[in-house]
Amino acid sequence: MTDASSPVAHLSPVRPATETAIDLDHIGKSFRMENGRELVAIDEVSLKIGKGEFVALLGPSGCGKSTILRLVAALEAPSRGRVVVEGREPEDLSRAHRLGVAFQDHALLPWLTISANVALPFQLAGRSVDRKRVEELIRLVGLAGFEQARPRQLSGGMRQRASIARSLVLHPDVLLLDEPFGALDAVTRRQMNVELQRIWTDERITTLLVTHSVEEALFLADRVVVMSGRPGRVIKTIEVPFERPRQPAIMRSAEFHDLVDELTLALEPEEAA
């Protein structure tokens, strides 16, 4: 029995969302190689993500995790099947600047201040800059006092915070994160996981996270989806039973480690017959 003082004393299954925000319907994506051969990156992927849900996508390198994210972000088009986001084609939401995206490379413009970088989406969308929103997000990601700093003056974790603030500044319907903390050291990465959870709790935005880290996926997500090696297919889905807000101490619990083991086993390649 779990002790009342345990960080996971109160477990509750994630409540299924009643409204679908992202719908991947039998998606396939193939690429034509230079030698003329067809490479099937993902095949028959079906996944529904509820409005306000946080889903983490796990899988081995080259399994098509980032390809799925790029399909949702309208950066690629599926070869087969259909992607629907908020009831519309991804291209429609992209043109309306309703998709927020943050990659492993923060992509901040080095000649702009942090404030100007966060405000940049307003200019790209042809809108007047909402200074209050910019200031609000800079405070939310813990960068108050660094508004006039240049990216080179900040640590890697601080630059990623600015990148996430920029991705949220236009109140997007969906947040897409592709290994946003993959280049950070283990300690900073864990700190950023705590920060991202806090930000998500405040914004409650539908989020799809691509990650290689089982621990990161379990700490952040409502649901973890595991993909097979190429061609990528969904092979396992688990609902994360830990209540929010989650404290880092939860990662030391037996329940957390049991789930880590279960997901790690699912990621191991099948032995040849």
Q: What is the pLDDT of residue 14?
A: 44
Q: Which residues of the chain have pLDDT under 50?
A: 1-17, 272-273
192-242 pLDDT per residue, tens? 888 888 888 888 899 999 999 999 999 999 999 999 888 889 999 999 999
Q: What is the pLDDT of residue 182?
A: 80
Q: What is the pTM of this model?
A: 0.85
**159 touches 151 (CB < 8 A):** yes
Q: What is the pLDDT of residue 138?
A: 92
Going from N- to C-terminal start, the domains of the chain cover 20-98+174-267, 108-171
Number of C-beta neighbours around residue 224 at 10 A: 24
Q: What is the pLDDT of residue 270?
A: 63
Q: Which CATH architecture has domain 20-98+174-267?
A: 3-Layer(aba) Sandwich (3.40)
**83 touches 137 (CB < 8 A):** no
Contacts 24+ apart (CB under 8 A), 6-12: 6/253, 7/246, 7/247, 7/249, 7/250, 7/252, 7/253, 8/242, 8/250, 8/253, 8/255, 8/256, 10/243, 11/241, 11/242, 11/243, 11/255, 12/241, 12/243
Closest Cα to residue 24, out of 87, 99, 82? 82
Q: What is the pLDDT of residue 80?
A: 92
